[in-house]
Chain A
Amino acid sequence: MYPTTYHKPASLSDAAAALSASDEAMVLAGGQTLLPTMKQRLASPSALVDIRAIPELRGITVSGATVTIGAATTHAEVAGHHGVQQTIPALACLAAGIGDPAVRHMGTIGGSVANNDPAADYPAAVLGLGATVVTNTREIAADDFFEGMFATALDEGEIITAIRFEAPKRAAYMKFRNPASRYAIVGVFVAETDAGARVAVTGAGADGVFRHSGMEAALSASFAPEAIDGCEVGEGDMASDIHASAAYRAHLVTVMARRAVAGAV
């Protein structure tokens, strides 16, 4: 690891100031992605701004059908939160399936969404539920937020403060784990909402998380596993690596989508 300077501000404005004070400063949340990258000397931020002590970034509020999760909330907190389990069980379930216990007790929803790893789980929920990404300067709709692998609509120095979800009628997330990393080779989040069905796919796409309009149309017409059967998943849009070819991923998207619909609650 290269030497760096560590800051732990207590307010959002101090954090923003610390970020702008140094050219290559980076936000540090759970560190589950950033620290390993630094240890491998693949990242060398000049300063780390740890946001975990900022009160408004922590915690979960549920009001009616709206669930707002502070950016620095850990996966374990989301998985174990009664209100989330009641309101959007699929989201609690997804959080419970990230990594291992150590990762879940350190990693945060804000870090996961900001990082937009193409194999991460949360982007599927954020996109699949049409959530809103709240930052220190604005609100960004999920549909506008994810811009391909590791790329997002966040500006330099912009900090995610919370993610706001509206509860769907029912939803489910089905994950096909990479046997080695246990990230998603394919993860499909399906949701039935008042505005129709949403289907978001992570892990599989050559360009990160994406919505599947064919499946959404079919499921909007009939929210049943069989509705998936006629839907095409284009191999050409799929990622391919030593763990799963594009053809296998395309096949798994269909299987996981069908299973998600069957399991939606």
Chain B
Amino acid sequence: MTDGIGARARRKEDRRFITGKGKYTDDIRVENQAYAAFVRCPVAHARINGVDASAALAMEGVIAVYTGPDLKADGIGDIITGWAITSKDGSPMKTGVWSPLVTEYGRYVGDAIAIVVAETQSQARAAAETVELDFEELPAVVLADRALEEGAAQVHDNVPGNLIYTWELGDEAKTDAAMANASHVTELDIVNNRLSPNAMEPRSAVAVYDEAEDHYTLYTTSQNPHVARLVLSAFYNVAPEHKLRVIAPDVGGGFGSKIYIYPEEIACLWASMKTGRSVKWTSERGEAFLTDAHGRDHVTKAKMGFDNEGRIVAFHVDTIANLGAYASLFATVTPTYLYGTLWSGQYDIPAIYGTVRAVHTNTVPVDAYRGAGRPEATYMIERVMEVAAREMRMDPAELRRRNFIREFPYQTQVILQYDAGDFDAILDKAQAAADVAGFPARRAEAEARGRLRGLGYSTFIEACGLAPSAAVGSLGAGVGLWESAEVRVNPVGTVEILTGAHSHGQGHETTFAQLVSDRFGVPIDNVQVVHGDTDKVQFGMGTYGSRSGPVGMSAVMKALDKVEAKARKIAAHTLEAAEDDLVIENGEVKVAGTDRKMGWHEVALAAYTAHNLPEGLEPGLKEGAFFDPVNFSFPSGALICEVEVDPETGVTEVVQFTAADDFGTIINPMIVEGQVHGGVTQGIGQAMLERVVYDEDGQLVTGSYMDYCMPRADDVPSYVLDHHSTPSPNNPLGLKGCGEAGAIGAPPAVINAITDAIGTETLQMPATPQAVWQALAWARTPVAAE
């Protein structure tokens, strides 16, 4: 009765989630509770001349109002970005200063200016509305390409022309030369639409200062509580690290948006010390739209050259990335090392060169969001491949196959070395599962009903398992990206796993337990996974970039190795056998070929009674380990989308969606399928529904679900999934990571299918009914498209 590696174990955590018993930050009730509300910049760009809180301070229940200068006076630091990028001319990047509560300028609608602390939530909110801002509105710039135009509004004085960096990757001369000799060149203008993350649980913070102990506790919606503690102490000077406990309890989704340490958490923690009260803040949905870091937002010109047999000879990329008003934690690395390093896709491309210009605009900061850089790379490459195939009148699958990498390890022209993969096999599986052969008949049948049916591919690769610490350090990272784990076997044989990874929907309480079950035959119900509390787990880097499997579980495996080694010593001693003759299965340690054995719990008990341990062996059964990966991991997949378009209205339905993925070893197929379902749905959301819109003045137009369209169950079909595994050689389990694959791979498959259906390429995401109808209209009157 074990749920080992590969078992479809039901999620242990679902009992409390499904019955509404999850404990989220907003559920935390503490003594002496007060509530915070924030005064925010109402316009996209303003010079702030004064903040008058006298009316607010006179209101019932108001405890305090603090502004930027109050924080500055206490030495609270400015918000950092975690990765230094160097421009191609060798100069360091230039980023604007971001103070937790801004003082002289407001730079986007929602920029935090003051924190109001009051006895109740409604008193705090009502008081915040009465705080008077004396400000002068300044010109604003919203769009990435506009930010670089002559005369554009300047977001920060120290960032001339709003240009943060011009980063390059690859060999320009070689690429230009190869492009010049190409027999066919495909060029495409691509917009990667800006997205709002929309985690189901909004951000929240409960800050508790204990004056007697001079100790701080912060409950918060974080994907990486240890990183939050480090940054809050080392960079923001709010509290010393050993006097600060950060707890991320149940967290209802993150998608990247809860990696970052936002102004609100800093201000609440500091205000708790200042007021001597516990300070709680929970974002409203409208606030979430305004202030949670957005994702994507690229404008790109891509150019791919082919020889006369359809082999890629050169790839050239020119991207402008909108980072918003300030450079958030991973904002600078997302459109560079998480993007450019994927420009080779699944293809053997001999010459690649590209530049990325990152810009500030008067919009909320843009940072890593499910996939982070890799969806942008994949969308670009896979759109270009499909368009190229159509231009060269080749089957798009065949064009891909002509360029597939088939020998591993493969060194790309853009830093990464792919470790393993079998792109033909996954494409074969996807084509079979999608019944591509039957497509012409389906298309004809749809046409008879007045519908345009199209089919589109996406064959993607991504880099997960962030990341080898020395490698990222050499590229400018401020941290290492290893992971830690501790395995504690209790005297009765039950097991606790402490991990620095953090589960906010991924199901770690189940999958991490499966590793123990697999190793020792202990039922998963006897395994407790402990995470999300800096007092319990010593350190960890958290969960993002599909790293919990390849990195987090690898650390657990190392710790399990150590536990097993010690358990074998104890059992061998007790059973009077050689360690090598022992086998551990079904919760027992047996001497092979005999009937001598001990229960797992007996081994554990022996470790703790210590009555009869081998000479020199310490009592107890508890081991820790750190795992630092030697390479990224490289999940890949082949996705095939089929759509039907109503040409009269532009309404498009995804009628079939197939994903064949290579995630290496799979711990729990059910959970992996869930991750693919969610990821693909988010990808379809980006392709067809979601888009953040600011108006020209920088006011957020899509500030609620009335205008920001999230995918719903009836927007997507039942998915057809398949797998083909080439284990990663670079971690003990052969894991590659599956958390982002769907969001990375799906968008180009959808757009390739729609453009196939409507016979024109002038379509950007999201392909709303109006956009599809418009593209069809332009196709009918080609002049209007110019």
Contact = CB atoms under 8 A, between A and B. Distances in A.
Interface in A171-215: 176, 179-181, 183
B708 interface: yes
B770 A181 contact: no
Given A176-B649, A180-B708, A245 B286 contact: no
B705 A255 contact: no
Contact of B702 (A176, A242, A252): A242
Q: Give the most central of B129, B709, B710: most A CB within 10 Å.
A: B709
Given A1-B122, A40-B286, A242 B707 contact: yes
Given A1-B122, A248-B770, A248-B773, A243 B649 contact: no
Interface in B752-776: 768-770, 773-774
Contact of A179 (B122, B129, B693, B769): B769
Contacts of A183: 706
B61 to A, nearest CB: 13
Contacts of A251: 773
Contacts of A93: none
A12 interface: no
A192 to B, nearest CB: 23
A244 B773 CA distance: 11
B709 A180 contact: yes
Nearest to A258: B648
Nearest to B774: A248
Contact of B701 (A3, A242, A244): A242
B770 A244 contact: yes
A150 interface: no
Nearest to A182: B712
A242 B773 contact: no
A6 interface: no
Contact of B707 (A176, A243, A245): A243
A179 B689 contact: yes
Given A180-B708, A243-B768, A255 B648 contact: yes
Interface in B693-737: 693, 701-702, 705-710, 715
Contact of A252 (B649, B701, B708, B710): B649
Interface residues of B, number: 23
A245 B705 contact: no
A181 B707 contact: yes
A180 B705 contact: yes
Contact of B770 (A2, A40, A41, A243): A243
Contacts of A180: 689, 705-710
Contact of B705 (A181, A243, A244, A252): A181
Interface in A203-257: 242-245, 248, 251-252, 255
A183 B704 CA distance: 14
Interface in B271-322: 286
A252 B701 CA distance: 23
A251 B709 CA distance: 22
Q: Give the most central of A1, A180, A242: most B CB within 10 Å.
A: A180
9 pairs of A and B residues whose beta carbons are closest in the complex:
A180-B709, A181-B706, A179-B709, A248-B770, A242-B693, A255-B648, A244-B770, A180-B707, A179-B689
B126 interface: yes
Contacts of B710: 180
B241 to A, nearest CB: 39
Contacts, number: 41
A252 B709 CA distance: 20
Q: Give the most central of B126, B701, B770, B774: most A CB within 10 Å.
A: B770
B92 to A, nearest CB: 38
Nearest to A40: B286
Nearest to A119: B706
Contacts of A1: 122
Contacts of A176: 649, 769
Given A255-B648, A255-B649, 5 more contacts: A179-B689, A180-B707, A181-B705, A243-B770, A244-B770
Contacts of B715: 179
Contacts of A179: 689, 709, 715, 768-769
Contacts of B768: 179, 243
A183 B705 CA distance: 12
B707 to A, nearest CB: 5
Nearest to A249: B770
Interface string B624-652: 00000000000000000000000011000
B148 to A, nearest CB: 24
Interface in A72-126: none
A86 to B, nearest CB: 29
Interface string B101-133: 000000000000000000000100110010000
A248 B776 CA distance: 12
A126 to B, nearest CB: 23
Contacts of A245: 770
A183 B709 CA distance: 12
Q: Give the most central of A2, A40, A41, A242: most B CB within 10 Å.
A: A242
Nearest to A3: B122
A129 to B, nearest CB: 25
A179 to B, nearest CB: 5
Contacts of A252: 649
Contacts of B649: 176, 252, 255
9 contacts: A1-B122, A2-B122, A3-B122, A179-B709, A179-B715, A183-B706, A248-B774, A252-B649, A255-B648
Contacts of B705: 180-181
A142 B51 CA distance: 51
Interface string A1-28: 1110000000000000000000000000
Contacts of B702: 242
Nearest to B646: A255
A260 to B, nearest CB: 14
Nearest to B648: A255
A102 to B, nearest CB: 14
Contacts of B707: 180-181, 242-243
A187 to B, nearest CB: 13
A248 B768 CA distance: 12
A204 to B, nearest CB: 13
Contacts of B709: 179-180
A2 B147 CA distance: 40
Interface string A37-62: 00011000000000000000000000
Q: Give the most central of A3, A179, A248, A255: most B CB within 10 Å.
A: A179
Interface in B368-419: none
A2 B706 contact: no
B3 to A, nearest CB: 37
Contacts of A244: 770
A245 B773 CA distance: 11
Nearest to B689: A179
Nearest to A255: B648
B16 to A, nearest CB: 24
Nearest to B126: A2
A249 to B, nearest CB: 9
B704 to A, nearest CB: 8
Nearest to A186: B649
B283 to A, nearest CB: 14
Nearest to A39: B284
Contacts of A2: 122, 126
